[in-house]
Chain A
Amino acid sequence: MSFNLLVLTCLGYVVLLFAVASAAERAAVAGRAGWLRSSLVYTLSLSVYCTAWTFYGAVGYAARSGLEFMTIYLGPTLVFVGWWLLLRKLVRIGRENRVTSIADMISARYGKSNVLGVIVTLLCITAGAPYIALQLQSIAQSFTVFVSDPESSPLATDTILIAFWVAAGLAFFAIVFGTRSLDANEQHPGIVTAIAVEAVVKLLALLAVGVFVVWFVATGPGDILSRIDTQALPEWEIQPGRWTGLILLSAIAIICLPRMFQVTVVENTEDRHLATASWAFPLYLFLISLFVLPIAVVGMELMPAGSNPDMFVLTLPLHLGQDGLALLSFLGGFSAATSMVIVASLALATMVSNHIVVPLWLRARSARQRDTGDMRLLVLSVRRLSICFILGLGYLYYVITGGSAALAAIGLIAFVGVAQCLPALIGALYWRGASRNGAALGLVAGMAIWLYTLFLPSFGPDVFLSARVMESGPFDIAWLRPYNMFGLTTLDPLLHSLFWSLMANVIAFCVGSILSFPSAIERVQGALFVDIFNRPGTARSWTRPMAEAEDLLPMAQRIFGATEAQAFFRAQAELQGKQGFLPDITPEFLEALELKLAGSVGSATAYAMLAQTVGTSVVSVDDLMAVASETAQIMEYSAKLEAKSEELSLTARKLREANEKLQTLSVQKDAFLSQISHELRTPMTSIRAFSEILMDAEGISNEERTHFAQIIHDESIRLTRLLDDLLDLSVLEHGQVQLNIASANLHDLIDKAITASKSVQAERQFVLHRNRDSEDVQIVTDTGRLTQVFINVLSNSRKYCDAAEPQMRIKVRRRGEMVEVDFIDNGSGIPREQDALIFEKFSRLTDSMQAGGAGLGLAICREIMHNLGGEITYVPGQGGAAFRVVCPLKLRARDNAAQPASDSTEAPE
């Protein structure tokens, strides 16, 4: 194909890209960017990972090292498949903080420190410019391969000149679409869309060549597999170290490469897109890699010996006479190279302008005091110049190295370089203790070792490092040989450098972070980044503002332009419920303004600009502590409230219980009164009736008179006893009882009680089970009262035990200072639901009057035992009715004296 035709094709393709990009920009401006911001476009834009190095180099790589080329795509696959782990957080933080580049991300996290931004920028330029040179080289090379009439133009064989024009063209494209406006989000729909188109072109081109090779040159997949095995070289053996190391390295690179950060984080608009990319991007890489080995194998087989395997994708179709396919393939490679160069130069230019030029300019300006020019133009011009500078640097690299083999290895070398950002980045995301000093130390240490052990030596001996230094180390210190630091000889140079640089980086980072004390802003930012998914609200980094909105508006106007700045201020004022353009300068407003500025000029610059206007009233550690203690106070207060409410509910419950008790007591009192009237009335009625009979007593025999008088007498005795009991109970309840304390043997008391109780239902024979030894307890108490209790319990048993052969067991036990006496019969006992009632007054389990008593017996017993400092309880589940009488061995006067007091509380009972 003629050179001119090829150039025309390229120009046509570029014009197409221009059209696509400007259409996308217009759509975005008109707000019709829906489909432009789709997951598909996002995923395709990620394909800037696949540069010309992939497009051409992967086949060459496969021809030289077999399957090892896959590692470069497997690492990113793992990162995207594991998006939930890392990328989700990274993207979220980037979006919420309007991060503009990886340097901005790191500088924002570590206290908006511009020093870190500068370090990362320098690192990325050092690693990135040669990478750009590699793209220029591949385009230039593909031109020379393609052109069939080298004589037609002086340009056709001059790769240096081709590279120059390509660089110039790409700079133009990047400037037009990358720096059209100062976007608040640093997002570029035009470029992203153009890249998506290029992604499709390069994928289709590679797939086309692959399909051609597999199904038209070979006879199908089976044939290809057998060809692979016959062509396999011993060098194709998978080397464990390189295999693992390269997978990890490429995984790191996809996170840290500036251009990847640009498309993955900065251009991301929704988490949803990332979810799709988590499988779609690995799929893209899968398809890109699928035919690499077949193309390499067929190329090795068919191409003349000595031809460059890096160009097989292009030369194989040419060799087989497929000019159309070759042209497609050429466009694919062109797409791969241009998309990478555009995004990389844009990302790097953003860094240069935000972290180096604008801060310098701001400093210079503050020295000269104020001037009020429009800064937008300045920032944009700086960006444009930066793009030219970066591309120029790449071109310079290419010219200096002259497309040497060293350049071909620059891909992986650049990977190791940008990998130095990883510790600081991971620390930014997951370690609140990571500090600015640690990050700076780590970055500098890692970068230094990378430069010394990999980057500088890669140019070959005597370019930057003398052959002597490379051979035997500086000053002949063998331990410092660039490729064999500290005597490490088993690793190849790439892994060796990766190992030492990351090792030094991580150690310096961790030690620096652990030993330093971060500033307040670092701590605010640390909390903001690490807890991005679960923070209740951000700690403000601005307090006690001293500026006026009048001062801030001009500054904002110079960055956003008058219209947008005024619209922003008006919206903010509206949010605060104010009219007009000047909102109150609240910390919230400053935060919003800073975020918006950060989207345009990076967080460090935005912060510095605001600080310059607002003064130094930024947050201090003391403010943070104040916020923290305020929070702590609130938490304490709420805890107190909680405790109070718990206490209240407890009291309420107690009150409710007391109320219930009072109500039942009132019911009981009524019942007591009606009972007592009933009990009094029954004997009274018979006394009255019989006395009336006696009064008008004509014709009553003497026997009858005696009988009636007997009845009256009996009834009055019953009345007396009832009244006695009531009095007794009342006396006992009020603790006014006079106790006759004496010493006695418990055994004797029980004997006395048994004898006394025998008169009740004397016809029943009880079998008694006693243990004389245990009953032999000397006791000091009111023996008469205690005996009364025993008699009552025994009599009850005689009355109510319903067993055919009644038995009574009496068990005595000592429990420390107390003695327990159990009276257990073998009757059916007292039903569970009634055992709470039996000690109440007038409670009788049966209605039968057989008992003869008034139902006060157990109530009196209970009061007696209270007075004796003990108690009487019903013990269920003993095989019959079981009463337990507990009383102290020695009733002290104190117990007795204490009684009234304790009784008074129980008085209502």
Chain B
Amino acid sequence: MKPPKPTQFLGRESYRLRRLMDAARLLPVIGFVLLLLPLMRHSPEMEAPPTAGESVYLFAVWAVLILLSLLLSIWLRRALEPHDEPTRSDRPSESGD
């Protein structure tokens, strides 16, 4: 049942793609950590919470995440294509739809 052994070393192109996939997996983790930063920033002694500053920070992080995600989705689109081909032809019932 084991699939054929994947090759151990890849060409430059596919290597780059693999690392982009790693980046895509890492992005939400980094995003989560960045979003937790406000928790560590203020102390309970302050009378009014610095809501305005924090909201600017949070929206900035949000915007950066969106931007990075946009770039990654453009780059990773290539990785989606080869997967798509076999599955489409694999579905015999498609013809009856």
Chain A residues with Cβ under 8 A from B77's Cβ? 272, 275
The number of residue pairs between A and B whose CB atoms lie closer than 8 Å in the complex comes to 158
Q: How far is the CA of A395 from the CA of B93 in the complex (A)?
A: 40
The residues in A between 642 and 686 inclusive whose CB is less than 8 angstroms from any CB of B are: none
How does the 8 Å CB contact mask read for A830-855 relative to B, with 1 for contact and 0 for none? 00000000000000000000000000
- Within the complex, the shortest CB–CB distance from A211 to chain B, in Å, comes to 16
Chain A residues with Cβ under 8 A from B76's Cβ? 84, 275
Q: Are B62 and A286 in touch, CB under 8 angstroms?
A: yes
Chain B residues with Cβ under 8 A from A571's Cβ? 92, 95-96
Contact flag A535-B3 (CB < 8 Å), given A80-B69, A82-B25, A275-B73: yes
Interface centre among B36, B62, B63, B80, by most chain A C-beta atoms within 10 angstroms, is: B62
Residue of B nearest to A534 (CB): B3
Contact flag A67-B1 (CB < 8 Å), given A82-B24, A232-B48, A240-B39: no
Q: How far is the CA of A631 from the CA of B83 in the complex (A)?
A: 24
Q: Are A286 and B1 in touch, CB under 8 angstroms?
A: no
Chain B residues with Cβ under 8 A from A293's Cβ? 51, 55
Chain A residues with Cβ under 8 A from B83's Cβ? 271, 533
**Interface residues of B, dominant DSSP:** helix
Stretch at the interface among A100-108, A223-231, A322-330, A885-893: A223-231
Query: Is there a chain B Cβ closer than 8 Å to A539's Cβ?
Result: yes
Q: How far is the CA of A596 from the CA of B32 in the complex (A)?
A: 40
Query: Is there a chain B Cβ closer than 8 Å to A808's Cβ?
Result: no
Chain A residues with Cβ under 8 A from B63's Cβ? 286
Chain B residues with Cβ under 8 A from A282's Cβ? 62, 65-66, 69
Q: Are B28 and A82 in touch, CB under 8 angstroms?
A: yes
Residue of A nearest to B48 (CB): A232
Q: Are A77 and B80 in touch, CB under 8 angstroms?
A: no
Q: Are B52 and A81 in touch, CB under 8 angstroms?
A: no
- Within the complex, the shortest CB–CB distance from A538 to chain B, in Å, comes to 9
Q: How far is the CA of A635 from the CA of B55 in the complex (A)?
A: 60
Chain A residues with Cβ under 8 A from B13's Cβ? none
Q: How far is the CA of A184 from the CA of B95 in the complex (A)?
A: 12
- Within the complex, the shortest CB–CB distance from B3 to chain A, in Å, comes to 5
Q: How far is the CA of A527 from the CA of B1 in the complex (A)?
A: 10
Q: Are A575 and B31 in touch, CB under 8 angstroms?
A: no
- Within the complex, the shortest CB–CB distance from A285 to chain B, in Å, comes to 8
Q: How far is the CA of A432 from the CA of B3 in the complex (A)?
A: 16
Chain B residues with Cβ under 8 A from A210's Cβ? none
Q: How far is the CA of A63 from the CA of B91 in the complex (A)?
A: 52
Q: Are B39 and A588 in touch, CB under 8 angstroms?
A: no
Chain A residues with Cβ under 8 A from B51's Cβ? 66-67, 228-229, 232, 236, 293
Q: How far is the CA of A237 from the CA of B67 in the complex (A)?
A: 29
The residues in B between 42 and 85 inclusive whose CB is less than 8 angstroms from any CB of A are: 42, 44, 47-52, 54-56, 58-59, 62-63, 65-70, 72-73, 76-77, 80, 83-84
How does the 8 Å CB contact mask read for A226-253 relative to B, with 1 for contact and 0 for none? 1011001110111010011001000000
Query: Is there a chain B Cβ closer than 8 Å to A217's Cβ?
Result: no
Contact flag A78-B31 (CB < 8 Å), given A70-B58, A84-B25, A282-B69: yes
Contact flag A278-B62 (CB < 8 Å), given A226-B52, A571-B95, A592-B92: no
Q: Are A595 and B39 in touch, CB under 8 angstroms?
A: no
Contact flag A275-B96 (CB < 8 Å), given A96-B87, A286-B59, A536-B3: no
Query: Is there a chain B Cβ closer than 8 Å to A568's Cβ?
Result: yes
Chain A residues with Cβ under 8 A from B56's Cβ? 225
Q: Are A238 and B31 in touch, CB under 8 angstroms?
A: no
Residue of B nearest to A632 (CB): B1
- Within the complex, the shortest CB–CB distance from A572 to chain B, in Å, comes to 7
- Within the complex, the shortest CB–CB distance from A222 to chain B, in Å, comes to 10
Chain A residues with Cβ under 8 A from B32's Cβ? 78, 247
How does the 8 Å CB contact mask read for B1-32 relative to A, with 1 for contact and 0 for none? 11110100000000000000100110111011
Query: Is there a chain B Cβ closer than 8 Å to A290's Cβ?
Result: yes
Q: Are B44 and A279 in touch, CB under 8 angstroms?
A: no
How does the 8 Å CB contact mask read for A683-704 relative to B, with 1 for contact and 0 for none? 0000000000000000000000
Q: Which residues of A contact B (CB under 8 A)?
A: 66-67, 70, 74, 77-85, 96, 184-185, 225-226, 228-229, 232-234, 236-238, 240, 243-244, 247, 270-272, 275-276, 278-279, 282-283, 286, 289-290, 293, 527, 531, 533-536, 539, 564, 567-568, 571-572, 575, 588, 592-593, 595-596, 627-628, 631, 635
The 4 closest A-B pairs by CB, nearest first: A82-B28, A568-B96, A84-B24, A279-B70
A-B contact sample (5 more), CB < 8 A, given A536-B4, A595-B91: A81-B28, A237-B42, A237-B49, A533-B83, A595-B93
Pull 28 A–B residue pairs with CB atoms less than 8 Å apart, ordered by A.
A67-B51, A67-B54, A74-B35, A78-B31, A84-B21, A96-B87, A184-B97, A225-B52, A228-B51, A229-B48, A229-B50, A232-B52, A243-B36, A247-B32, A271-B83, A272-B80, A278-B72, A282-B66, A286-B62, A289-B59, A527-B1, A533-B83, A534-B3, A536-B1, A572-B92, A572-B93, A593-B93, A595-B91
